[in-house]
């Protein structure tokens, strides 16, 4: 294997412009020189104190005591129990019945257990926790592959199991490399004193499985050389940077360390350049945490490691994307979920990462949105989302001391890059209805066929809903993706036109999208016909308006006479259709005010109950969802209205 001592990098995007705005020539050379001059020593390069710093980790230290106590309580249940084993048969299942979870759940929990043990060892300085850490580290080092089986390319070589001599660098491999770097940074000295040789093994495995392949193999799809960049790009590049900063610490590796970081920044430059200036993420809020947020965290790490010489906090698209989480907020634990996201995502997100990025960008609303979670019983950080995020969250003094603030709840949001509109009755309040509608196309990352679909919430709780996605399997990202019901337009709030659903692909999109935003009325309008197979309809114009607390959706179309047109609404909560057949009453989840839906007399309605069994769906929506179908085949248009009333009014009795 030949390793390039300092790989040639060609910066031409947003990071290059920000760091060398006055000199477009020689950007790569300037970057290389900056890294050589400014990179901190490996032992000082990560922004968390090692366990030897008892002012941070000792009994009177500055770590967040509440979060640490919760981690220690969970860790105490681990001690003395057997570590789970990731079985080869479970890894092979992804190529059989498509099951990913049997293998991934074991590996993920094992890594969370290691993270808990690291914090316990750092806080208590007890030998028993070092034993626990050693076991976790050694199990990772002995694991044949760090790549998640669903991602590995071994099958192309005829194997359903990973090939040790051909490591594949994916999300899983990057996560392990970064975790081991953090373990070494915080506990390396203590581990080496107790178990000489363990640090050398860590370095050997990270070089062999991650750093060498990253530097020598340049056909990784996630690099974005074909122009398609998605959340893998910053996620993996950020983990590579973490590993290189800490683990390439031999004097003779100094040049290589700079080179790998430069190569990773070149790759991340493609992602940042592709971010729209409105800060939107086409994968939706759920994937912001593992896309844009990963980029923000990685670049913050680079800023720290270069003592601010390479700081990207004010790159326009990065500064804008800090606002995306609160612009997607419906209220409470509920968010506008597009693509594969959940409407009610885990509450223990790494809010500290958003808080730091918002502070750096000077976005007060984003700071407030993150800080609003400090008063809701949510810990400063957990091990759920990785060791690095856990360590940052429990040692970030500004985050620990942040005062709980009200969520900003922006009144009007328009994101032209994704053609998403969100509007609520008034800023700062969830009272009444909130409506969101999207245009875009059906070739977005983690795409669902949902052009023209809309979501309506009452008191911040979704009533007309986007279902989200079930547990990932091989099918999820295979050729049969759209056989999964949650991905289909028939299970979004979109019409079935002439018996046809929407088609996947970027050619299938909304046309002629227009938006009106003012205090009195919000309007969104688009032709949806382009999202359906050619010849389905000459036009299908959807107009959504929100005024005086009422949402009105009007569809008007030109299509073959007598074609089978159906108007679909996916509803969460208790649904009762009035005997007249022209009105439905929905009692939302979580005790929000009921919503009344009205449509024209004479339009026949059908109710389909969908029982849910997948835990990713039941933990959000409960046992079932309801689809209300309106038969509009014999009409040229339809108007449907949505209103909410206090439960005591005559209207809702």
Length of the chain: 653
Residue 445's Cβ-count burial label (10 Å; 0-12, 13-18, 19+) is middle
Q: Please determine, for residue 3, whether its predicted confidence score (pLDDT) is greater than 80.
A: no
Element spanning 414, H or E:
strand 412-415
If 0-12 CB within 10 Å is exposed, 13-18 middle and 19+ buried, where does residue 486 land?
buried
Answer yes or no: do 226 and 264 share one domain.
yes
Domain identity same for 385 and 304: yes
The three-state DSSP-derived secondary structure of 493-547 is: CCEEECCECCCCEEEEECEEEEEEECCCEEEEEEECHHHCCCCCCCEEEEEEEEE
Residue 407 belongs to some domain of the structure: no
Rounded-to-integer distance, Cα 250 and Cα 345, Å = 42
Is the predicted pLDDT of residue 565 greater than 50, yes or no?
yes
Are 384 and 446 contained in the same domain?
A: no
Query: Which CATH number belongs to the domain containing residue 145 in this structure?
Result: 1.50.10.100
- The DSSP result for 78-105, as a single string, is HTTSPPP---HHHHHGGGTT-B-HHHHH
Contact between residue 528 and residue 495 where contact means Cβ atoms under 8 Å apart? yes
Averaged pLDDT, 596-616 = 96
Residues 252 and 202 reside in one and the same domain: yes
Residue 591 pLDDT grade (very low, low, confident, very high; cuts 50, 70, 90)? confident
CA distances from 96 to 111, 158, 478, 514 (A): 25, 14, 13, 47
Structural domain span for residue 283: 14-400
Pair 68, 123 in one domain: yes
Task: Give the CATH number of the domain where residue 609 resides.
Answer: 2.70.98.70
For the chain, give the percent of residues with pLDDT over 70.
96
Q: Among the three residues 379, 400, 421, which one is the final residue of a domain in this structure?
A: 400
* pLDDT single digits (tens) 502-561: 999 999 999 999 999 988 999 999 999 999 999 999 999 999 999 999 999 999 999 876
1 is a domain residue: no
Same-domain pairing of 385 and 486:
no
Q: Return the pLDDT at 376.
A: 79
Q: Is residue 3 part of a domain?
A: no
Q: Are residues 470 and 383 in the same domain?
A: no
Q: Is residue 583 assigned to a domain? A: yes
User: In terms of domains, do 340 and 437 share one?
Assistant: no
65 lies in some domain: yes
Last residue of a domain, one of 377, 400, 423: 400
Find the mean pLDDT for residues 576-600. Answer: 93
| Position 314 in a domain | yes
Shared domain for 488 and 569, answered yes or no, is yes
Whether residue 109 has pLDDT greater than 50: yes
Cβ proximity of 245 and 305 under 8 Å: yes
Prediction pTM value:
0.95
3-state SS string for 165-195: CCCCCCHHHHHHHHHHHHHHHHHHHHHHHHC
User: How much is the pLDDT for 608?
Assistant: 97
pLDDT value at 20 more than 80: no
Q: What is the 3-state secondary structure (H, E, C) of 375-415?
A: HCCCCCCCHHHCHHHHHHHHHCHHHHCCCCCCCCCCCEEEE
Query: Average pLDDT in the 54-69 region?
Result: 96
Tens of pLDDT, residue by residue over 395-413, are 999 999 999 989 999 999 9
pLDDT recorded at residue 392: 98
Q: Is the pLDDT of residue 8 over 80?
A: no
Give me the chain's average pLDDT, please.
Answer: 94
Tell me: the pLDDT tens digits for 624-634?
A: 999 999 999 99
Question: Alpha-carbon distance 118 to 403, whole Å?
Answer: 28
With respect to residue 8, please indicate whether it lies within any of the assigned structural domains. Answer: no
Same domain as 271, residue 182: yes
308: Cβ–Cβ under 8 A, 6 or more apart, which residues?
A: none
**Is residue 523 domain-resident?**
yes
Span 390-398, mean pLDDT? 98
* Tens digit of each residue's pLDDT (9 = 90 or more) over 246-305: 999 999 999 999 999 999 999 999 999 999 999 999 999 999 999 999 999 999 999 999
Residue 650's pLDDT band, with cuts at 50, 70 and 90, is very low
Q: Decide: helix, strand or coil at residue 318.
A: helix
Q: Are residues 553 and 481 in the same domain?
A: yes
Q: What are phi and psi of 570, to 5 degrees?
A: -100, 120
Q: How many domains does the chain have?
A: 2
Please give the average per-residue pLDDT across 102-115, as a whole number. Answer: 98
9-18, 436-445, 495-504, 515-524, range with the lowest pLDDT: 9-18
Q: Is the pLDDT of residue 215 over 90?
A: yes
Boundary (domain end) residue, out of 400, 435, 458: 400
Give the contacts of 518 (CB within 8 A, at least 6 positions apart): none
44 Cβ partners below 8 Å, 6+ apart?
A: none
| Same domain for 144 and 111 | yes
Band (651; pLDDT cuts 50, 70, 90): very low
């Amino acid at each position: 294997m030949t390793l390039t001592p300092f790989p040639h990098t060609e910066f031409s995007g947003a990071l290059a412009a920000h760091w060398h705005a006055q000199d477009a020539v020689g950007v790569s050379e300037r970057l290389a020189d900056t890294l050589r001059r400014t990179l901190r020593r490996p032992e000082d390069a990560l922004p968390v104190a090692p366990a030897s710093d008892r002012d941070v980790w000792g009994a009177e230290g500055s770590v967040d005591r509440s979060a640490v106590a919760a981690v220690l309580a969970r860790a105490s249940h681990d001690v003395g129990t057997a570590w789970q084993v990731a079985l080869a048969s479970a890894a092979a299942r992804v190529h059989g019945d498509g099951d990913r979870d049997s293998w991934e759940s074991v590996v993920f929990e094992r890594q969370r257990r290691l993270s808990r043990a690291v914090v316990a060892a750092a806080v208590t300085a007890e030998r028993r926790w070092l034993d626990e850490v050693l076991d976790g580290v050694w199990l990772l080092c002995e694991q044949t592959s760090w790549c998640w089986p669903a991602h590995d390319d071994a099958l192309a070589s005829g194997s359903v199991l990973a090939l040790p001599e051909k490591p594949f660098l994916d999300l899983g491999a990057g996560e392990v490399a970064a975790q081991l770097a953090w373990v070494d940074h915080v506990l390396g000295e203590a581990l080496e004193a107790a178990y000489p040789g363990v640090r050398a093994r860590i370095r050997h495995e990270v070089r062999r499985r991650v750093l060498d392949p990253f530097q020598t193999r340049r056909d990784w799809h996630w690099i974005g050389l074909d122009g398609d960049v998605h959340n893998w790009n910053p996620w993996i590049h950020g983990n590579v940077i973490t590993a290189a900063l800490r683990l390439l610490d031999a004097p003779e590796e100094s040049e290589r360390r700079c080179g790998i970081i430069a190569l990773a920044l070149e790759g991340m430059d493609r992602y940042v350049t592709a971010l729209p200036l409105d800060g939107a993420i086409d994968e939706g809020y759920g994937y912001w945490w593992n896309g844009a947020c990963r980029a923000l965290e990685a670049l913050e790490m680079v800023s720290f490691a270069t003592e601010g010489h390479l700081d990207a906090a004010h790159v326009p698209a990065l500064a804008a994307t800090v606002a995306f989480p609160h612009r997607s907020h419906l209220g409470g634990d509920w968010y506008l979920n597009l693509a594969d996201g959940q409407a009610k995502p885990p509450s223990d997100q790494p809010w500290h990462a958003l808080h730091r990025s918002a502070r750096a960008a000077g976005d007060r609303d984003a700071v407030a949105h993150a800080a609003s979670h400090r008063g809701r019983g949510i810990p400063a950080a957990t091990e759920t989302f990785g060791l690095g995020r856990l360590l940052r969250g429990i040692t970030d003094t500004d985050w620990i001391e942040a005062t709980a603030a009200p969520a900003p709840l922006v009144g009007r949001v328009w994101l032209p890059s994704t053609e998403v509109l969100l509007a609520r009755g008034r800023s700062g309040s969830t009272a009444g209805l909130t409506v969101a509608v999207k245009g875009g196309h059906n070739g977005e990352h983690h795409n669902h066929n949902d052009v023209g679909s809309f979501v309506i919430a009452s008191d911040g709780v979704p009533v007309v809903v986007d279902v989200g996605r079930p547990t990932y399997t091989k099918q999820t990202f295979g050729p049969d993706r759209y056989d999964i019901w949650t991905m289909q337009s028939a299970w979004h709030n979109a019409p079935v036109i002439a018996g046809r659903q929407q088609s996947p692909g970027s050619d299938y999109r909304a046309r002629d999208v227009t938006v009106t935003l003012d205090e009195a009325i919000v309007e969104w309008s688009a032709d949806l016909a382009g999202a359906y197979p050619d010849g389905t309809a000459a036009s299908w114009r959807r107009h959504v308006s929100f005024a005086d607390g009422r949402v009105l959706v009007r569809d008007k179309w030109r299509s073959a006479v007598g074609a089978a047109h159906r108007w679909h609404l996916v509803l969460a909560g208790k649904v009762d259709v009035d005997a007249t057949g022209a009105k439905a009453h929905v009692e939302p989840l979580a005790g929000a005010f009921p919503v009344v839906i009205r449509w024209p007399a004479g339009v026949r309605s059908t109710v389909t109950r969908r029982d849910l069994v997948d835990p990713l769906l039941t933990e959000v929506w409960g046992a079932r969802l309801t689809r209300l179908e309106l038969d509009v085949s014999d009409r040229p248009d339809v108007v449907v209205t949505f209103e909410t009333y206090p439960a005591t009014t005559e209207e809702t009795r």
